[in-house]
Amino acid sequence: MKKRIFVTATNTDVGKTYTTKLLLKEFASRGLLVGVIKPIETGVVNDFAPDGEELLECVKQLNHKLWSMEVDDIVPITYALAAAPFVASNNTPLDLKKINRTIEEMEASCDIVIIEGAGGLYVPIDANTMMIDLITELKAVALLVTHCSLGCINDTLLSKKALSDRNIPHAVAFNCRENDASFKTISEPYFLKTNQTILKVDDDIVKICDVLYNL
């Protein structure tokens, strides 16, 4: 099995796809053949998967072995309703075999696979499965992408605890945006004073990749 990194977040719209693309580019710059999977995408209308298409375009530019792939090859499960998979699928049982098969086919053409989750860790997939369960099932390490706005201390600590309680090796990356100028005075002091490492997506992608590769 190749190296698998699962990109999750404290919530939806925190920057998973943006971060995943940066990871792909950095690992590719090191001479690694990269691959990407988004196991489940909701909000797919008329067979157009926005995140999947964006990831596919990126990875095809980085790994020549994937030039013939289509979006179905990296997004095996899609639903039209933009909601948690449990709701979007009307509680259809997760087809884990289909996801595993998609990842294994991808791994035949790459050294490392980035797996992008949907929403946060406790997004329900079906009656028995949360997104965090998928990380364990796929035997991946995790990157928790968190935001830098007010409330990030609580959101980050809750998600870190969830990963630690499951013994999932993980790193944390802060995705600070232009309107997050208050982070330095409102939230960052807590993380610094409690000796927690602060890695920022835009500034520290090299360090983030180093940490993830060695987990």
Domain ranges of the chain: 3-214
Instruction: Please tell me which residue in 21, 38, 160, 207 is annotated as part of the active site.
Output: 38
Q: What superfamily in CATH does domain 3-214 come from?
A: P-loop containing nucleotide triphosphate hydrolases (3.40.50.300)
Catalytic site residue 38? Answer: yes
Q: What is the 3-state secondary structure (H, E, C) of the chain?
A: CCEEEEEEECCCCCCHHHHHHHHHHHHHHCCCCEEEECCEEECCECCECHHHHHHHHHHHHHCHHHCCCCHHHCCCEEECCCCCHHHHCCCCCCCHHHHHHHHHHHHCCCCEEEEECCCCCCCEEECCEEHHHHHHHCCCEEEEEEECCCCHHHHHHHHHHHHHHCCCCEEEEEECCCCCCCHHHHCHHHHHHCCCCCCECCCCHHHHHHHHHHC
Report the DSSP beta bridge partners of residue 170: 142
pLDDT at 1: 67
Closest CA to 56 of 36, 30, 39, 26: 36
Are 47 and 178 in contact by the 8 Å Cβ rule? The answer is: no
pLDDT at 181: 86
Query: Which parts of the chain register pLDDT below 50?
Result: none
* Range 169-190 burial, b when 16+ CB lie within 10 A, else e: ebbbbbbbeeebeebeebbbee
pLDDT at 151: 95
